[in-house]
């Protein structure tokens, strides 16, 4: 996705867009939603893992088969929560009623003791969870290509978002472009990438398909380093309270605990997005803390946030135009296959050489080493 394409789209008149979409994706036009539960999205790498399952929501009796997809990620401080939390169900149901396909998914978590006391564990947990979500994105694109598009999605229009920790993961998935972006001190985060397969695509399988998204939705989320937001990045919509200390509205330690890594919320992210010329918008709740989304649709602020998100996404949608507005982001190559020294498909193993085959035809030999801290 290129900024120039999005800029062109934003300058289309609202009348033209509305006429094409007929208010689909803007208003709740479907009364009922179908929910398919507990789909394994990383069946090759993690078969039968409850940490790698998702629920998919689709509009009932919908005849459209080229629908934008939103993946919504639960909160829980990176050591709790699941796809079944009320905000996940309410967000996914609401957006499916507007015509989207939505999905709420589980991902790998840490434990409170490990996470709160170790910066290395915090980075490791985020890397693993982002790896899982990338695998889920690839799952949908693989299904589109090999399974007759059973979910009826547009593979070129996939948004990623969530609440709290889920929003943090969505942001880092979208805005960390290269391993070289990651710090090497005081924690060698670049080295930690070895533990998820040696590259940012991770160890979740479904290789051969892009894990890029076309936009980010942040409910009370933040980023570890605002410089990761650059001028080729995806549009950002966020909602946050100015009194949020769990994810600081400006910048501060996560959960307001000094041992937890810094997160910079909407106040800083949108300033950087403006500086980079990205399409972005924010809804701010003055003097409101972190918990406004936890109760889902029972809280009027959550409903306001969902409506704000729908309004933001609406002019970005292709709406079945003959030329798709979004292009898959081609700024980074991705792995299509991992094989061992015998040429057999294999998951990465510590201390054994693996050969990574990329979409551009290149091959790279890697050895994953155990890191002791």
Domain boundary assignment for the chain: 3-332, 335-373
Give this prediction's pTM: 0.82
| Paired sense of beta strands 335-339 and 251-253, if any | unpaired
What's the gap between Cα 174 and its chain centre? 7
Can you spell out the DSSP letters for 201-264?
T-SS--TTS----SEEEEES--BS-GGG--TT---EEEEEETT-TTTTSSEEEGGG-TTSPEEE
DSSP conformational letter for 332:
S
CATH topology of domain 3-332: Rossmann fold (3.40.50)
Reported as a single tens digit per residue, the pLDDT across 80-105 is 999 999 999 999 999 999 999 999 99
pLDDT at residue 196 in the model? 84
* Beta carbons of 150 and 142 less than 8 angstroms apart: no
pLDDT at residue 260 in the model? 87
End-to-end CA distance of the chain: 38
Alpha-carbon separation of residue 366 from 193, 203, 341, 348 (angstroms): 12, 14, 11, 9
Cross-strand bridge partners of residue 365? 355
SS3 118: coil
Positions in the chain short of pLDDT 70: 1-20, 320-339, 344-352, 354, 356, 358-361, 364-373
Reported as a single tens digit per residue, the pLDDT across 304-340 is 999 999 999 998 999 845 334 344 443 444 555 666 7
pLDDT at residue 8 in the model? 31
Nearest-10 crossing angle of helices 119-146, 165-175: 70
Give the alpha-carbon dihedral of 126, 131, 133, 139, to 10 degrees.
-170
SS3 194: helix
């Amino acid at each position: 996705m290129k900024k120039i394409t999005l800029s062109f789209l934003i300058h289309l008149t609202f009348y033209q867009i509305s006429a094409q979409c007929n208010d689909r994706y803007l208003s709740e036009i479907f009364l009922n939603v179908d929910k398919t539960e507990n789909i394994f999205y990383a069946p090759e790498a993690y078969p039968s893992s409850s940490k790698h399952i998702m629920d998919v929501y689709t509009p009932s009796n919908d005849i459209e088969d080229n629908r934008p997809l939103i993946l919504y990620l639960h909160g829980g401080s990176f050591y709790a929560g699941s796809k079944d939390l009320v905000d996940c169900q309410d967000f996914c149901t609401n957006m499916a009623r507007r015509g989207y396909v939505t999905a709420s998914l589980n991902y790998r978590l840490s434990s409170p003791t490990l996470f709160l006391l170790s910066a290395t564990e915090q980075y490791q947990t985020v890397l693993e969870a982002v790896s899982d979500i990338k695998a889920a994105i690839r799952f949908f694109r693989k299904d589109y290509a090999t399974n007759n598009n059973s979910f009826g999605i547009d593979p070129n229009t996939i948004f990623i978002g969530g609440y709290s920790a889920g929003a943090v993961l969505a942001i880092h998935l979208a805005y960390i472009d290269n391993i070289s972006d990651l710090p090497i001190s005081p924690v060698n985060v670049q080295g930690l990438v070895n533990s998820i397969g040696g590259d940012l695509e991770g160890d979740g399988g479904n290789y051969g398909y892009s894990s890029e998204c076309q936009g980010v939705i942040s409910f009370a989320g933040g980023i570890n380093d605002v410089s990761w937001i650059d001028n080729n990045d995806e549009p950002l919509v966020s909602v946050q309270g100015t009194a949020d200390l769990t994810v600081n509205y400006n910048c501060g330690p996560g959960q307001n605990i000094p041992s937890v890594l810094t997160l910079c919320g909407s106040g800083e992210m949108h300033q950087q997005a403006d500086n980079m010329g990205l399409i972005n918008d924010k809804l701010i709740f003055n003097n409101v803390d972190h918990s406004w989304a936890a109760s889902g649709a029972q809280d009027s602020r959550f409903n306001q946030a969902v409506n704000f998100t729908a309004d933001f996404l609406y002019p970005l949608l292709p709406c079945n135009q003959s030329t798709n507005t979004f292009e898959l982001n081609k700024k980074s190559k991705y792995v299509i296959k991992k094989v061992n020294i015998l040429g057999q498909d294999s998951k990465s193993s510590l201390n054994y050489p693996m050969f990574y085959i990329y979409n551009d035809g290149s091959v790279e030999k890697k050895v994953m080493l155990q890191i002791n801290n």
